[in-house]
Structure 1
Amino acid sequence: MKTIMLCCNAGMSTSLLVQKMQKEAAGRGLEVTIVARPMNEAMDHIGDADVVLLGPQIGYAKGDYEKATDKPVAVIPMADYGRMNASKIIDTALELMGK
């Protein structure tokens, strides 16, 4: 099972997105775990993730995350994040993981 980790400032705004993504993944029959972590906890769990997606508000920290893991790291586009476009964000994560 692959793990998609979403990170944002406090973990609050991504929690709703995670719920939408979990529903989308279940509807597609995907076997993925999707978790949200606040920025101050994410580094402690980065080794558990197969892909790390950052909320646009912390996109400036992408380089720090890339240094901390050999897994793909990407910033969720503002439009997809704002619209809570779970389908598009899952597609991005799968593409980054080579699925």
Structure 2
Amino acid sequence: MLKIILFCSSGSSTSMLIGRIEEAAKARGIEVAVDAYPEAQMEKYVEEADVVLLGPQVKFILPKAKKICSEKGVPVDVINPVVYGMMDGEKVLEQALSLAKK
């Protein structure tokens, strides 16, 4: 099972995206667990993740996120703003799967 954690400014704007990612994974027969938290809680939850994705509204914390995540061996990236805005769970799932393979 792939554990994906999304971090955004408050943890609430990604709730709909979580459902879309889970739907996309189910359609492909992939087991995932997806959670979202405010970026301020990253250090608390990063150890639970296989992959960390940042909402575009917090892309400015990518350097900090890379430092925190690299110490735990967890890949991290920012979700494309267009993909995020469209709530495209399939594309976010693809991004997470690609990061997990690296």
Tell whether the structures are fold-level matches, with TM greater than 0.5: yes
2:89 is equivalent to residue 93 of structure 1: no
Report % sequence identity: 38
Q: Which residue number in structure 2 is paired with residue 79 of structure 1?
A: 82
Matches within 5 A, 1:36-75: 36-69=36-69, 70-75=73-78
Tell me which amino acid in the other structure corresponds to 1:38: P
Q: What TM-score comes out, normalization by structure 1 length? A: 0.94
- Unmatched segments (≥5 aa) in structure 1: none
Tell me which amino acid in the other structure corresponds to 1:79: V
CA distance in 1, matches of 2:98, 2:27: 18
Give 1:42 shift: 2.4
Q: Which residue number in structure 2 is paired with residue 13 of structure 1?
A: 13
Q: What SS does the corresponding residue of 2:101 show, helix, strand or coil?
A: coil
Q: What TM-score comes out, normalization by structure 2 length? A: 0.91
Please report the RMSD computed on the Cα atoms of aligned residues, expressed in angstroms: 1.2
Q: What SS does the corresponding residue of 1:24 show, helix, strand or coil?
A: helix
Q: What SS does the corresponding residue of 1:33 show, helix, strand or coil?
A: strand
Q: What SS does the corresponding residue of 2:4 show, helix, strand or coil?
A: strand
CA distance in 2, matches of 1:2, 1:20: 15
- Unmatched segments (≥5 aa) in structure 2: none
CA distance in 2, matches of 1:78, 1:37: 18
Runs of 4+ in 1 over 4 A off after TM superposition: none
